[in-house]
Chains A and B, each alone.
Chain A
Amino acid sequence: MSKTGRVVLWTALGVGFAVIYFPLLVVLLNSVNSDTTFGWPPKSFTLEWWGRAVTNAGALHALWTSIEAGVAATAIALVLGTMAAFALQRYRFFGRDSISLLIILPIALPGIVTGIALNNAFRTILGIDLGLLTAIIAHATFCIVVVFNNVVARLRRMGGNLEEASMDLGADGITTFRLVTFPMLRSALLAGGLLAFALSFDEIIVTTFTLGTGMETLPIWIYDNLFRPNQAPVVNVVAAVLIIVSTVPVYFAQKLSGGDSSSGGRI
């Protein structure tokens, strides 16, 4: 490639990353900006908002709800996603393509569709009141694909030789799974689980439609406080914490998946 071409591409990459990170940097700066209207550039700094945020009962309660929903949805998604991955990766059967489309569908369709479809099914069709459980069911539905993708990628890479060797040496199916298949799958499951949790933790649209009234996950708490002027500083701190905390699962998921998911382990 020509030298100009390289320079142009590297510049595009640099500018792109600057644009990606600048807004996040602004949020981090605003969390210590002593001016409550957050005019630019910030003039003086304070840690007061951080002190207020860590004692904010509403935010802490919402955080706990987010964790509960995320853990439960991730557990369900791990089981269902792994089963589906084994079925679709190890067997060839009629309707296989349709099932893989069905697994993608909950994230391929807009969140509002998934949200209102489940809202309608729970309330109008089944007559169930919305609560934490309905939100967990909704979250698990779109988290399945994350686990599925990670496990499929790992199964594809590890092939079946070691399992066959285990069987040849006299181990039965359960022993082979316990001693051979599962250990090789473990890091992919962990990566898928981390990403599923992160997806659930960040989800707002589906949650809005499926969580009971009076309950809040952290994104919903942020949204409810976004337009309240006196809450803006605390929202900034929560936002800043989320930016910092969210880097952790991504980093570990990337390490654990060993780069075997084609889209870099995003889903």
Chain B
Amino acid sequence: MTAVSPPSRRASAFFFRKPKLRLGILLSAPLLWLGLAYLGALAALFITAFWSTDVFTGKVVTDWSFDNFVTLFTDSVYRTITLRTVGIALLVTVIDAVIAFPMAFAMAKLASPRAQRILVIAVMTPLWASYLVKAYAWRTLLSGNGAISWLLSPFGLSGPGYGVAATVITLSYLWLPYMILPIYAGLERLPDSLVDASGDLGAKSFRTFRSVILPLAFPAIVAGSIFTFSLSLGDYIAVKIVGGTSQMLGNVVYDNIGAANNLPFAATVAIVPVVIMLVYLAVVRRTGALNNL
């Protein structure tokens, strides 16, 4: 005698025998969403970059042309802004790496396991405190009668005021935890025995750092740099809050979508950080950094 199994059980058995079907179902919704909605939107952005805007009606004209790219590359204003943006992003990344490494090292190698957990939470907490709140904090800190001036005035110095320097400081501050956490995770995985072995073989601290620790921690540093670099590259808000009159690529995009109502040109400008980031991701992929995110 065979009992009739309930439909759910039959369905389970059916899917159990068909792993490819299960995989297909699992992938369908995420791929539909990210593949169609996100990649589709990126592709559309790329196409829009070749269109233009009618000067009189403000409507998008779907005729193909390279005019936007010609403007972007020949107009010295945009060249300056592009170089400034990339420069700021690189500087912020280097500053964060230099500050984050010793902090992450102390957390991963000197702190007790209990202290490690507390320190990780201590790094993460300000990460989630609103971006704007932190940028705004620097606006008050850097203002003429703010804390920085107050701290520096006894030495006869004055603060940087609002400008490129203030932007670099603020962005470095904003993205610092994004650099600390991956480096910490990378160093935590690095076995102490390798450091000890290096010491036993006669290497001094610096040699151990250069030949053992740095090569092994490198993918983690690169993983952190993806965030610091990418986030700086697309920022326009911090520079509006503390940057004075200086502009970044993000401001050009923002202004062309809003005030100037030239979506195609905004799209063209937005492609610059995309290309830079894709090249960067392609280069760092070999280091295994993407598995450290």
Interface residues of A (CB under 8 A from B): 1-2, 5-6, 8-10, 12-13, 16-17, 19-24, 26-27, 30, 37-41, 79-81, 83-84, 86-87, 91, 93, 99-106, 108-114, 116-121, 123-125, 137, 140-141, 144, 149, 172-175, 198, 202, 204-205, 208-209, 218-219, 222-223, 226, 235, 239, 242-243, 246-247, 249-251, 254, 259, 262-267
Q: Is the CB of A264 within 8 A of B120?
A: yes
With A113-B273, A121-B41 as contacts: A254 and B120 at CB distance below 8 Å: yes
Bound: A266/B233 CA distance, A: 21
Q: Is the CB of B128 within 8 A of A226?
A: no
Q: Is the CB of B16 within 8 A of A173?
A: yes
Q: In the complex, what's the smallest C-beta–C-beta distance from B158 to chain A, in angstroms?
A: 14
Bound: A40/B41 CA distance, A: 47
Q: Is the CB of B257 within 8 A of A116?
A: yes
Map CB proximity to A onto B229-243 as digits: 1 under 8 Å, 0 otherwise: 011011111000100
* Tally of contacts, chain A with chain B, CB under 8 A: 283
Q: Is the CB of B141 within 8 A of A120?
A: no
Q: Is the CB of A120 within 8 A of B263?
A: yes
21 contacts between A and B (CB under 8 A): A8-B102, A17-B122, A23-B138, A26-B140, A91-B23, A99-B30, A106-B34, A109-B234, A109-B277, A112-B250, A113-B274, A117-B42, A205-B235, A205-B250, A218-B130, A243-B133, A249-B128, A251-B121, A254-B124, A263-B293, A266-B181
Bound: A175/B6 CA distance, A: 12
Closest to B277 in A: A109
Seed contacts A20-B123, A140-B33; 11 additional CB < 8 Å A-B pairs? A40-B145, A100-B290, A104-B290, A110-B233, A112-B270, A112-B273, A113-B274, A120-B44, A120-B45, A121-B44, A266-B178
Q: In the complex, what's the smallest C-beta–C-beta distance from B14 to chain A, in angstroms?
A: 9
Contacts of A84 in B (CB 8 A): 26-27, 30
With A38-B140, A118-B41, A172-B9 as contacts: A250 and B234 at CB distance below 8 Å: no
Map CB proximity to A onto B253-279 as digits: 1 under 8 Å, 0 otherwise: 110010000010011001001100100
Q: Is the CB of B38 within 8 A of A106?
A: yes
Closest to A249 in B: B128
B235: contacting residue among A110, A172, A247, CB under 8 A: A110
* B-side interface mostly: helix
Q: In the complex, what's the smallest C-beta–C-beta distance from B124 to chain A, in angstroms?
A: 5
B218 at the binding interface (Cβ < 8 Å): no
Contacts of A5 in B (CB 8 A): 205
Contacts of B27 in A (CB 8 A): 83-84, 87, 99
B35 at the binding interface (Cβ < 8 Å): yes
Bound: A22/B122 CA distance, A: 13
Bound: A105/B277 CA distance, A: 10
Contacts of B48 in A (CB 8 A): 120, 124
B72 at the binding interface (Cβ < 8 Å): no
Bound: A81/B31 CA distance, A: 11
Closest to B204 in A: A2
Contacts of B197 in A (CB 8 A): none
Bound: A266/B273 CA distance, A: 24
Stretch at the interface among B63-71, B73-81, B105-113, B160-168: B105-113
- In chain B, positions 3-24 with a C-beta closer than 8 Å to chain A are 8-9, 11-13, 15-16, 19, 23
Q: In the complex, what's the smallest C-beta–C-beta distance from B165 to chain A, in angstroms?
A: 16
Q: Is the CB of B266 within 8 A of A110?
A: no
Q: Is the CB of B12 within 8 A of A1?
A: no
B84 at the binding interface (Cβ < 8 Å): no
